[in-house]
Amino acid sequence: MNVSFILVLLLFGAVATYFSGNKLAKTVALIFSLAASVFSVYTLNLHNSGINPSFMQQWIANPNIFIALKVDGLSLAMLLLTTFLTTIIIYSSFGNQFENSKTFYALVLFMSFAMVGTFLSADAFLYYIFWELALIPIYFIALIWGNGDAEERKRAIIKFFVFTLAGSLFMLVSFIYLFQKAGSLMISDLYAIRLTEQEQFWIFSGFFLAYAIKIPIFPFHTWQANTYQKSPAVGTMLLSGIMLKMGLYSVIRWQLPLAPLAAKTYMNVFLVLSIIGVVYGSIVALKQRNLKKLLAYSSLAHVGLIAASTYTLSLDGFRGAVLQMIAHGFVVVGLFFAAEVIERRFQTQEIAEMGGIRIQDSKFASMFMIVMLASVALPSTFNFIGEFTALYSLYNVNIWFAVIAGTTIILGAFYMLKMFQNVMLGDKNVRVFESITIQETIVFVVIIAVLLFFGLYPKPINDLITPALQEVLTVINR
């Protein structure tokens, strides 16, 4: 078996889900997402056994374009993150009822298919197709099944779509230029190009616009909070848990190796922008009265630290970034799911209308607290490993970068604990908070288990990603 089977499985799953009808759609989608997770683990075992499950087949003869899927530790980590989180996200939605659910769940699986393709592609043309394909399903998921005023939702989602599409066009222009230089779009051939410093600056800039909007990095973040708020919980979890990782992954896989001189020359500029996002996101989160918006700005702060870590151009920086990508994926899905559990019962996202939940359901309060503490990088949680490694890489560049970026831990602890106090504690709410269901409990237990296990034993992920990251650094430092 090669890794293309997982893509075929997800695509076929999307089609099968659509034709299964509204009654069976969520069950069929869950089965296919779970199957994709199982085969992702099988692919990992093949990789660890020394068997290469990569796939390469000529697609177009002139220009020479391949369906090329590369499996190494880095792409495998993102494959596992995508398939596992897709399964969790689909299962977490079982407490909701969606009109035309067959289309809804088919779009979720199709989006997972596109994101997996983005992480695996080793041909720039194929990568660009998957990159753009991932935008289509989330646009419809957020637009059709989102919440709030229809006109406000439409404006927020169209802004997101236009921003990300426009940024991607700059990346496409960069690929066209590189193709003229190399005569190929295979990543190995693009890595071999020797560009002048000026050429690298423009290539780097083209990629930066695409990735800075997708991640997002300050000041390209203006679409994020409203889009997260207006999207349904499933859409928000897909965006924050997986889709933004496409940009962070691509910085390491594509941007830095293709323009290493520009990356080294302007390193401090991009570190400063990323760190500004850390501080800005934390400060704005302090002022939020809407729970989903607070979590959106918290996510902005955390991904700012991840982006800064990648731009240190060091093994520790890359490793910290990837570890934090995975940890952030599980934490942010857990936090937005907690917000969804509350909204199901109280029919509101406003923090002022919450409170007193712990008295009614201490089990939910305890699980929410664990996920919340993981988000502020409590030692023994997965986020602590990623954030500590990322801050250490910044310290090795400039101690003040580490000090300022480290405010995300202090400010994050402040606004998250304050949020927890306002949402969960206090006198009993006049509204009834029904005890969380077995299905909701399973979602939290799985997420918490991942956060605690890898917080105490991150070695399997370190061993998986380090060789691939060393290869990228070899290209950068050639």
Residues in the chain: 478
Region for 57 from its dihedrals, namely left if φ exceeds 0, alpha if ψ lies in -120 to 50, beta otherwise: beta
Confidence of residue 452 (pLDDT cuts 50, 70, 90): very high
How high is the pLDDT of residue 468? 94
Q: Are 139 and 157 in contact (CB under 8 A)?
A: yes
How high is the pLDDT of residue 80? 96
Average pLDDT over residues 206-212: 90
Rounded to an integer, what is the distance from CA 254 to the centroid of its chain?
17
How high is the pLDDT of residue 308? 92
Partners of residue 56 on adjacent β-strands: 68
How high is the pLDDT of residue 60? 81
In this structure, the number of other CB atoms found within 10 A of the CB of residue 421 comes to: 11
SS3 186: strand
In this structure, the number of other CB atoms found within 10 A of the CB of residue 408 comes to: 25
Q: Which of 8-12, 363-367, 391-395, 428-432 has the lowest mean pLDDT?
A: 428-432
Average pLDDT over residues 159-172: 88
Domain locations in the chain? Answer: 266-478
Confidence of residue 26 (pLDDT cuts 50, 70, 90): very high
Whether residue 363 has pLDDT greater than 80: yes
- pLDDT, mean over the chain: 90
Q: Are 311 and 263 in contact (CB under 8 A)?
A: yes
Nearest to 95 by CA among 424, 452, 440: 440
252-279 pLDDT tens trace: 999 999 989 888 888 888 899 889 988 8
How high is the pLDDT of residue 184? 85
Q: Are 44 and 18 in contact (CB under 8 A)?
A: no
pTM score: 0.92
CA–CA distance, 452 with 81 (Å, rounded to integer) = 16
SS3 375: helix
Angle at alpha carbon of residue 115, lines to 130 and 259, rounded to 5°? 65
